[in-house]
Amino acid sequence: MDQLISFAGAFLILGAYGGQQLRWVDPAGWPYSALNLVGAGLLTLAAWQLGQWGFVLLEGVWTVVSAGALVRAVRAG
Is the pLDDT confidence value at 77 over 90?
no
pLDDT at res. 57: 98
pLDDT tens, 39-63? 999 999 999 999 999 999 999 999 9
Model confidence band, residue 1 (pLDDT cutoffs 50, 70, 90):
confident
Tell me the domain boundaries of the chain.
Answer: 2-76
Q: State pTM to two decimals.
A: 0.92
At position 1, the amino acid (one-letter code) is M
For the four alpha carbons of 47, 49, 52 and 58, in that order, the dihedral sign comes to positive
Runs of H (alpha helix) within 22-76: 30-50, 53-76
